[in-house]
Amino acid sequence: MSDASQFDDVEGTPDLVPRAHIRDLEAKARRTDELEAQLAAAQRDVAFTQALGPSTDPRLDYFKRGYQGDVTPEAIRQAAAEAGFLATESQPAPPAPAPAGASAQELAAHARMAAASDGAATASTPPDLAAAIAAAASEAEVMALLEGAQGQAAGLRTTRQNQ
């Protein structure tokens, strides 16, 4: 009779594939399942990033975890707008949550700073310093231009300013 290690099942039929090879295939199948789950999560993250952009808002993280709909950027964007996470043309974006312990004065100061910085985002035209110098009638006017706001805006300093 043959060796008992050749038989894996109780019926006594010989195993055509070695058990070690079967274990390797089972391990590969488990790894494939893990990689498929990682791929699905990565595709979901990409869809959310395409739809909502990179965000540090913790509310969007909650929305991302709870979203069960179609995972296309358009569907995600529409659902986020309907849930109030994105600003639409008719409604402004909700204000960011206030930091813990912030007083009303601090919040008002931050609001003033934000309002002031809104105007800073637009590019202003630099003064035409060359045209102003060409139009100057005397050396004193040229020096006044260079030492004044136009010269400072152009990043120029005279030797008198450096003293």
Which pLDDT tens digit goes with each residue over 115-124? 776 655 444 5
User: What is the Cα–Cα distance from 5 to 14, expressed in whole angstroms?
Assistant: 9
pTM comes to 0.40
pLDDT of residue 163: 62
pLDDT of residue 38: 94
**69-96 burial, b if ≥16 CB within 10 A, otherwise e?**
eeeeeeebbebbeeeebbeeeeeeeeee
Whether the predicted pLDDT of 13 surpasses 70: no
Give mean pLDDT, residues 99-122. 68
The residue extents of the domains of the chain are: 4-96, 129-162
Among 69-78, 115-124, 133-142, the minimum mean pLDDT is found in: 115-124
Q: How confident is the model at residue 22 (pLDDT cuts 50, 70, 90)?
A: very high
